[in-house]
Amino acid sequence: MKKKYVTKILCLALLICAAVLTLPTYAGEDSVVSNMEILREKIAADKKLVVASNMNLTEEEAKAFWPVYDTYQKELYQINQRLAKVIDDYATAFNKGAVLNETATRLIDEVIAIEMAEANLKRTYVPKLSAVLPGAKVARYLQIESKIRAIVRYELADAIPLVQ
C-alpha cells in the first residue's frame, strides 16, 4: 500500500510540474490551452483519488470533508497560478541573460509572499477541517498535501536554473 501511495503521489507531482512549467509557454495557443485544462482536470481528479484512498473517511466524514477540500483546492489553485506566473517571469528574465538585481528582488518578494499565502491558507483551513474531521485525520490530510507539494517543489527546483 505504501509503495502504491508513493508511486501515485510521484506521478501526480510530475504531472503537476509539467502543467505548471508548460502553461506559460502555451498560453497563446487555444487548442493547447484546452488540452492543458483537460490535463489540469485529470491531475485534480488523480489528486482527489490519492487523498480519498489515504484518508479512510467514514461516509459522514466524507460528506462534510469533500466540500471543504474542494474549496481549499480552489484557493490553492490561485496560489499555484501566482507560482506559475513568477516562474514565467523568471524564465523571461533568465532567457534575456543575467537577471537584473531589481528583477531578482521582485521575484524573491513574490516567492516569499506565495509561501506565506500557502501557510496562511493552511492556517485558515485547520479550523474548517477540524470542524468536520477528527484531529488525526486533519493532520493526515495536511501531510498528504505537504507531501504532494514537496514533490512538486522538488521537481520545480530541479528544473529551474540558478540565477546568473
- Summarised one tens digit per residue, pLDDT across range 38-55 is 877 878 888 999 999 999
Q: Would you say the C-alpha torsion 13, 80, 72, 33 has a positive or negative sign? A: negative
Q: CA angle, 145 as apex, 155 and 151 as ends, to 5°?
A: 15
For residue 29, name the pLDDT band (cuts at 50, 70, 90): low
Average pLDDT over residues 105-110: 96
Average pLDDT over residues 116-145: 97
CA–chain centroid gap for 47, Å, is 10
Whole-number Cα distances in Å, 89 to 52, 76, 101:
35, 20, 14
pLDDT of residue 106: 96
What is the pLDDT, as a whole number, of residue 152?
Answer: 86
- pTM for the model stands at 0.78
pLDDT, greater one: 145 or 152: 145
pLDDT(22) > 50: no
| Grid coordinates of 155 | 521537481
The mean pLDDT of 83-99, rounded to a whole number, is 92
- The stretch 59-71 carries a mean pLDDT of 97
Q: Which three cell numbers stand for residue 90?
A: 523568471
H-run or E-run covering 145: helix 135-159
| Positive/negative CA dihedral, 46, 48, 49, 50 | positive
